[in-house]
Chains A and B, each alone.
Chain A
């Protein structure tokens, strides 16, 4: 009796083990029989949700939409292959890392004719991390700077050093992402934000530890809401949020510090394990349409590399806004993040952990 029970149990177990991969396979049909859907993995609040519905209406392709908060959170999920996304929107250095680790596939640009709307200089910048422009289609770009509340700060701000000013203790918001946090410290010291020099990194780490008692919180997307809500005086923020926050709270001002900062580009890419490549390309192509890019710009206010879309902006002040479309030649010390290799990543992660544990 007992043995029989066991046998049934093992048989059931075996069948469940066998059925499980079958179930998984069921969702991932052969490439020939592409389903009418596309899995998109994007930054939080990084497009106008209406655009997704309109895309489905026009093409009949259903969008399954998912969001991440930092590049570092996105990467392990894609690397592990637990979820098979078709389109992702990482930043420059992360795209470089994904190309090097063979996680991306080349885009068939025959299916993305709207790429012609993307300005040449942006394709050129993208070729720094994506040689030959094979994998990435620029979606948004910008700088990292300081957003401050004019009612709480009455001096002109032009340097990262204000983030170390005792006067603003408890009123400072720092970025809770390792590269952005170290960028600020490294730039203040006059070093490269891609430094791998132990001495320089140690100095940056000590600087961040020194700053920690002054910091109200380490946040990512919440900088925006906290600054709008007058919760803090100074915050490190992506330039794209500046116009939006100013729209909501006119006391806010954005500056690019004189020591220089990060210039970044986020691009659409297609991961290697994508199941719906053609749908992904259709999606990217749709995003490059001038009207669609304009709609997204109006909603998220992140600078668009889509030249045709920029020409469509009606408000001249915004079309020529030095925040949204700065003339980069006017600034010194601008850099783009580079992928620092597995060891470099580890180094930064360890140092960041030390800052956080202090």
Chain B
């Protein structure tokens, strides 16, 4: 009884934190999202997602987020396999190298890529020096996808590495004993067992990619409007918090869907490993 009370006391700061910085702001978003400038209840803000401009930016955001998530899986899965096969030999070092850039500010890293990718930037100067064809991807959707992959790849690698590392070596040995070759073991044993890791990796790459406005603004030259940019501009420039909140609620629906999918597949909480 006593320890129970103590535990409850310990939880108070978290409850306060959650109320002040999660629940109240969320309620405010819902208040603004469902009201107009006169403070009357309305669905206009939510339904405005069907306006051509907003729908297009949502579609583009979904598309780019999907592409970058798929590329992240394709890049991260082999890496996670390699890392887990190293079993203690330098694998921590490589994971460390992957996390290292994340110690630097996200904005700075993206700004650095802007300078690197510019038409007259560092990369093109090197390419020119080597008489190779130059790269013209800055201010295109390709640069945005590149920025998303660069920034969010570690969030795919780590859950995959964790889940694959935890697979019991005996399961793999059993498959090999029963005559499965490497590829058969990979597809029929390792892959199914790593699905929770894939799912949490997908959420952790897809959600930030879908909602980003910084990457698209900096690497897209403000030419490409994603749903995140629309929301940001409604708040910062058009002072229409109602529309911004309404569109945020629509975006939340997509985030909740992906979180539900995660919780169904990822019962062991690999996603919390970070």
Asked whether B258 is an interface residue with its Cβ less than 8 Å from the other chain, the reply is no
Chain A contact surface mostly: helix
The count of chain B contact residues (Cβ–Cβ below 8 Å) is 32
Tell whether A229 pairs with B5 under 8 Å between CB atoms, given A76-B236, A216-B139: no
Tell whether A219 pairs with B221 under 8 Å between CB atoms, given A9-B12, A357-B56: yes
Asked whether A36 is an interface residue with its Cβ less than 8 Å from the other chain, the reply is no
**Per-position 1/0 for B145-177, Cβ under 8 A of A:** 000000000000000000000000000000000
- Selected from A80, A212, A353, the residue in CB contact (under 8 A) with B223 is A212
In the complex, which residues of chain B have a beta carbon less than 8 angstroms from the beta carbon of A215?
A: 221, 223
What class of interface size applies to chain A in its complex with B?
Answer: 35 or more
Cα A226 to Cα B119 in complex, Å, equals 10
Cα A70 to Cα B237 in complex, Å, equals 9
Asked whether A349 is an interface residue with its Cβ less than 8 Å from the other chain, the reply is yes
Residue of B nearest to A80 (CB): B239
In the complex, which residues of chain A have a beta carbon less than 8 angstroms from the beta carbon of B118?
A: 229, 231
Contact A1 B5 (CB under 8 A): yes
Cα A183 to Cα B230 in complex, Å, equals 22
Contact B120 A231 (CB under 8 A): yes
Asked whether B212 is an interface residue with its Cβ less than 8 Å from the other chain, the reply is no
Contact A231 B236 (CB under 8 A): no
In chain B, positions 206-250 with a C-beta closer than 8 Å to chain A are: 221-223, 225, 229-230, 233, 235-239
Looking at the assembled complex, report how far the CB atom of B269 sits from the nearest CB atom of chain A, in whole angstroms: 27
In the complex, which residues of chain B have a beta carbon less than 8 angstroms from the beta carbon of A217?
A: 138-139, 221-223
Asked whether A202 is an interface residue with its Cβ less than 8 Å from the other chain, the reply is no
In the complex, which residues of chain B have a beta carbon less than 8 angstroms from the beta carbon of A357?
A: 52-53, 56-57, 225, 230
Contact B222 A76 (CB under 8 A): no
In the complex, which residues of chain B have a beta carbon less than 8 angstroms from the beta carbon of A26?
A: none
In the complex, which residues of chain B have a beta carbon less than 8 angstroms from the beta carbon of A43?
A: none
Tell whether A216 pairs with B19 under 8 Å between CB atoms, given A1-B1, A349-B237: no
Residues of A whose CB lies within 8 Å of any CB of B are 1-2, 5, 8-9, 12-13, 16, 70, 72-73, 75-76, 79-80, 170, 176, 178, 212, 215-219, 229-231, 345-346, 349-350, 353-354, 356-357
Other than A217-B223, A356-B229, give 4 A-B pairs with Cβ distance below 8 A.
Answer: A16-B16, A76-B236, A216-B119, A353-B233
What are 24 residue pairs bridging A and B, where the CB atoms are less than 8 Å apart in the complex?
Answer: A2-B8, A9-B12, A12-B12, A70-B237, A73-B237, A76-B236, A76-B239, A170-B136, A215-B221, A216-B119, A217-B138, A217-B139, A217-B222, A218-B222, A219-B221, A229-B118, A229-B120, A345-B238, A353-B225, A353-B230, A356-B222, A356-B229, A357-B225, A357-B230
